[in-house]
Amino acid sequence: MSDQIGIPSVDLADFLSGDPQRKAQFVSDLGRAYEEIGFVALKNHRLSDDLVAQLYQEVQAFFNLPKEIKERYEIEGLGGQRGYTGFGKEHAKGRNTGDLKEFWHFGQFVEDNDPIAAEYHDNVQVKELPNFNAVGKEAYQTLEATGKDMLQALALYLNLDENYFDAYIHNGNSILRPIHYPPISDEPKDAVRAAEHGDINLITLLMGASADGLQVLNKAGEWIPVTALPGQIIVNVGDMLSRLTNNKLRSTIHRVVNPPREKWGESRFSIPFFMHPRSEMPLNCLESCIDENNPKAYSDITAGEFLEERLREIGLKN
């Protein structure tokens, strides 16, 4: 493990190696990192450089479309769960000021006869960019496979069956979110590109952003800058996993700060994959994570109920 970028680094090839010792070390390193700071940098994550480059090319082309064309893909009544969400519409929990960003959502692709398909909206097709949806789908499914490996490792760390999460994340309500933080033209007052927040989901997988700005809050109350090195993605704990483990694994507060004034004219692009389970997954605190020193911190709730609650809190649903 390395703290070269302020957070530990792990190699997924160790977990998948077939070598019990390397696998066990990966599980231990990952679990310790998630107890300490809730973030790791991950190598050998299945995303090829070529796929990442294609995705950024398509995403930048979309956000460069005229505003009136992008707004055609903002579908009323979806709570921002598919398609386009315009600039400044989402805010962090506990804040009223909108974040300085616009974004797109790719959702789950149900390709079997799973009845859960009825819960999901269709993905929105972008007519102006013939490769946009295909490239987005490939990236979504690649990151979903990597997320499944990470959750299997965490299941082992929590002394659960290795496949504990598998059925819960099959056709889960995950979201791939390309984000554009446009150039800053006016003094932003109290608005930032993304105010301090914890993610809603189980885990988040973030491919390298196009500019610096991501910071995480460590146990000492210090903001640490995080930049993925070439060939790495960032993977962090979300609030659902923190809740399930009664805060054993840390959903660390993080933010995207505004750049120095000399870089206000530059856009920033970022593409997180928010890994969600199926709506019926119980997030009740695991018995193994409750003891005299760590009493149960949360009431029982399902993933679907928790998501609805949070979407209202961040302004995407009324």
pLDDT computed for residue 171 by the predictor: 98
pLDDT computed for residue 1 by the predictor: 42
Strands 9-11 and 39-43, sheet pairing: parallel
pLDDT computed for residue 95 by the predictor: 42
Q: How far apart are CA 79 and CA 85, in angstroms?
A: 9
For the chain, list the domains and their CATH numbers: 46-313 (2.60.120.330)
pLDDT computed for residue 89 by the predictor: 57
pLDDT computed for residue 157 by the predictor: 98
pLDDT computed for residue 311 by the predictor: 78
pLDDT computed for residue 265 by the predictor: 67
pLDDT computed for residue 276 by the predictor: 97
pLDDT computed for residue 91 by the predictor: 46
Q: Which residues of the chain carry a pLDDT beneath 70?
A: 1-6, 88-99, 184-195, 208-212, 228, 258-265, 314-318
Report the predicted TM-score, pTM, of the whole model to 2 decimal places: 0.88
Angle between helices 132-157 and 20-36 (to 10 degrees): 90
Tell me: the pLDDT tens digits for 50-60? 999 999 999 99
